[in-house]
Amino acid sequence: MRIQQLSRATYVLFVIVCAVLGAPTGKPKRKGCRCKKVYKELQASFDAKFKAFENRFTADLPNLNRIANETMKLAEYNARISKLFENVQFTQDALQRESQTLKSVKNQMLEQRLNLKDLNTNFAVIDAVVKNLSDVIDRLANISPLPALSNKINQINPETKPSIPATQPTEPTSKATTLQEMTSYPKDCHEVHKSGGMKYEGDYYIMIKPEKSPKPFKVLCKVANGTGWTVIQRRQDGSVDFYRNWEDYKAGFGNQNGEFYLGNEHIHHLTTQGDYKLRIDMEEWNGKKYYAVYDIFRIANENDNYRLRITNYHGTAGDSMTTMRDDHNGMQFSTYDRDNDRRSLNNCAVHYRGGWWYSDCFESNLNGRYYTDGQHNDFFQRNGIQWNSIHLHSSLKFVEMMIMPSDGAMNNNHI
Ligand SMILES: [Ca+2]
C-alpha cells in the first residue's frame, strides 16, 4: 500500500513538474502528452521492478525467517558456551586445589615412607639383638645340665637378659628361685662372660652360686673391655647408709642398681673358690678417675672375722691397702659393734664411721661416710670415703669394687 501511495505521489509530482516546465516555454500541448507517456512508462517500469522485488522478498522470506531462527539459536549456543566456559573455569580451579591437596598428601606419604624406613632399620637392630640373645641363651644352655629349665628361667627372670643392660632390676621371683635351685648356677659373672654370655658392655643382674655357698644369690655383673666382673661394692650418691653393724656387713645391704655392699659371707664364698683379683675404680669430685688392681684378693670365713688377704698392687690410684703404715693386708673386718682392729684405745669403725679391715686405723676407708660436693674436704674428721694415696683429706665421689678370677683376661686400662 505504501508503494502504491508513493507511486501516486510520484505521479502528482511529475504532472506538476511537467506543468511548470511546459507553461513558461509556451510550447504546444503535445509536450504534456509526451510527459504523461514517459510517466506511464516509468510507472510501468517501477511497478515491474517493485513487483520483482516483492516477489523476490516474498521468496526470500522463509530464508530470512530461517536466518533469524539460526541467529537466535547461535545466541543461545553462545550463552551455553559461556556457561560451559564458566564451568570449565570452576573445574580448573577445583582441579588446581585438588592438585595442591595431592601434592600435600604425596609429601606426607614421602615422610611416612622415611618413617617406615627408620622403623625398618630399628626392626633390623631388634632382630640382631634377638639373634644375639638367642645365641647367648644357647650357650648358657650348653653349660647347664638342664638347658630346658635354663630357658624357662631366662624367660621368667628379666635380669638375665644379656643384650640390654637392666637399669631397674627386680628381685627374682620365688618361682624363678625354685626353678633355679633345681639346676646349676655359674660360680661368678666371669664364668658366664667367658662362655659367651653378656657379650655387650654394661651392667647385668644374674643369679650365681659359688662352690661353697649354701644357696644362690643375685649379683651385679659389669662387662667392660671384654672382661666380666662381679661387683661387690659401689658408692655413688650417698643414698645408702654404710654405717652398719656386723650382721648387715655379713649379709650385705643396699640396692645393686645403686649403692650396695654384697656382704662378707658372699665375698668369702666367691674369693675362696679360686684365686681372685680385685679392681677398684674411683673418681674425685673434680672428675679425675683412678683405678687400683690387686692380683690376689680373698677374705676368710666369719670364724676368722673375714680376715683380708690382698697383695700385688698395680694401677693409677696408688696403693692404699698394703703400705707399711696401716697395712690392711691380714686385717680382720671391723664394724661399730665388732672391734677387730689394731687400735687398742678405741674402735676405728666408730671413729671413722664405716665397716672395713681397719688396722690402726686406715690408709683406705671405702665404706666411710659419703660427703657431697663441697663437703668432701674434712681435715680433722677423716671419716669420708678415703683413699689416702689419692688424697689425705678428701672424700671420693665414686667407688666401685669388683672381682674376677686371677686367670681371667683383663684390660687394666679401661677407665
Ligand atoms: Ca680397737
What pLDDT tens digit does each residue of the chain (415 aa) get? Answer: 455 555 566 666 666 665 655 544 445 555 566 778 888 888 888 888 888 888 888 888 888 888 888 988 988 988 888 888 888 888 888 888 888 888 888 888 887 777 776 665 455 455 555 555 656 665 665 554 444 444 444 444 444 444 334 334 434 444 444 444 445 899 999 999 999 999 899 999 999 999 999 999 999 999 988 899 999 999 999 999 999 999 999 999 999 999 999 999 999 999 999 999 999 999 999 999 999 999 999 999 999 999 999 999 999 999 999 998 889 999 999 999 999 999 998 999 999 999 999 999 999 999 999 999 888 887 777 899 999 999 988 999 999 999 999 976 554 433 3
Cα 346 to middle of ligand 1, angstroms: 4
- Residue 316 and residue 208 in one domain: yes
Cα 246 to middle of ligand 1, angstroms: 15
Final residue belonging to a domain, choices 125, 140, 158: 125
Cα 341 to middle of ligand 1, angstroms: 5
- Residue 380 and residue 250 in one domain: yes
Residue 299 lies in a domain: yes
Residue 2 lies in a domain: no
Assign residue 260 the CATH number of its domain.
Answer: 3.90.215.10
Final residue belonging to a domain, choices 87, 102, 125: 125
Cα 367 to middle of ligand 1, angstroms: 17
Q: By residue range, what is the domain housing residue 119?
A: 40-125
Residue 247 lies in a domain: yes
Residue with cell 582441579: 95
Residue 156 lies in a domain: no
Cα 372 to middle of ligand 1, angstroms: 28
- Residue 121 and residue 195 in one domain: no
Cα 339 to middle of ligand 1, angstroms: 5
Residue 246 lies in a domain: yes
Final residue belonging to a domain, choices 125, 144, 169: 125
pLDDT value of position 29: 52
Provide the grid cell at 359: 688396722
Cα 235 to middle of ligand 1, angstroms: 25
Contact predicate 263/250, CB 8 Å: yes
Structural domain count of the chain: 2
pLDDT value of position 119: 66
- Residue 336 and residue 199 in one domain: yes
